[in-house]
């Protein structure tokens, strides 16, 4: 199937054979697509090679055949995003998360738009909150986000109580105040899309990582190691 002028975000690029590359795309109408860009090292293909940069929004022509598509054209739709420092690390995390969790060829246009807004916001203050919102929306788009405003019994969350966010059962009341529990106030803030104070943001980071880890399986994310180093410097996103 031929697809013309399909908007796509570049998630990942790696060399393949001597002159080609394997590209992971997040397309608006076809979800995550793996594609082969052939012969990009030749001088005539320099425009295509230049367009294949992570965090780039491009217009693509694709030939979908089997698991991997053929990428025939990619032209930039916006200027490249100049991510640096913590924002760049956060961008790598978003891309790795998308590559690992998004199913192939499953259209998620609302999440496609959310991804673009998230990238644009990475250079602003509130980096941690920006990532928590994307994790929430990604899991919600995949249909695996447990309710964030009521517990496993269907009761409204108590802002003053502590909970464990279980991937299968949702929020479980934690009367033992075990490590890794999260306040009801933090979960309610995430549900209402209202940025909580720093302490609650740290709780949400661990709670959302638990959900993400469950759906990733035993192999975690490489970017978590980089983010852990940032956390040791007291500015973890």
Bridge partners, residue 173, by sequence: 163
Residue 39 zone, left/alpha/beta (φ > 0; ψ -120 to 50; rest)? left
Rounded to two decimals, what is the model's pTM? Answer: 0.91
Which letter does DSSP use for residue 78 in this model? S
Bridge partners, residue 74, by sequence: 60
Q: Half-sphere exposure of 170 toward its Cβ, with a 13 Å CA cutoff?
A: 15
Residue 54 pLDDT: 93
Residues of the chain with pLDDT under 70: 43, 227-237
**Cβ contact 115:98 at 8 Å:** yes
Residue 80 pLDDT: 79
CATH of 2-76, one of 3.40.225.10, 3.30.1490.20, 3.90.480.20, 2.40.50.140: 2.40.50.140
Residue ranges, CATH 1.20.1440.120, the chain: 85-232
**Cβ contact 70:35 at 8 Å:** yes
Q: Where does 85-232 sit in CATH, by number?
A: 1.20.1440.120
Residue 17 pLDDT: 87
Q: Name the helix (H) or strand (E) containing 187.
A: helix 184-191
């Amino acid at each position: 199937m031929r697809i013309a002028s399909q908007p796509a975000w570049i998630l990942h690029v790696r060399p393949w054979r001597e002159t080609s590359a394997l590209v992971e795309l997040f397309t608006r109408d076809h979800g995550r697509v793996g594609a082969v860009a052939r012969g990009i090292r030749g001088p005539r293909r320099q425009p295509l090679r230049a367009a294949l940069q992570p965090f780039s929004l491009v217009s693509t022509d694709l030939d979908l055949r089997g698991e991997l598509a053929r990428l025939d054209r990619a032209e930039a739709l916006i200027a490249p995003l100049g991510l640096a420092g913590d924002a760049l690390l956060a961008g790598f995390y978003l891309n790795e998360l998308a590559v690992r969790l998004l199913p192939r060829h499953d259209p998620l246009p609302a999440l496609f738009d959310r991804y673009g807004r998230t990238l644009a916001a990475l250079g602003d203050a509130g980096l941690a909150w920006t990532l928590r919102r994307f994790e929430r929306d990604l899991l919600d788009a995949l249909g695996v986000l447990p309710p964030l405003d009521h517990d496993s019994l269907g009761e409204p969350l108590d802002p003053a109580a502590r909970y464990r966010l279980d991937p299968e059962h949702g929020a479980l009341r934690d009367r033992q105040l075990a490590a890794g529990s999260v306040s009801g106030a933090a979960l309610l803030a995430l549900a209402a899309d209202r940025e909580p104070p720093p302490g609650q943001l740290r709780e949400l980071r661990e709670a959302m990582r638990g959900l993400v880890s469950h759906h990733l399986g035993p192999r975690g994310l490489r970017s978590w190691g980089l983010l852990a180093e940032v956390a040791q410097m007291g500015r973890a996103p």
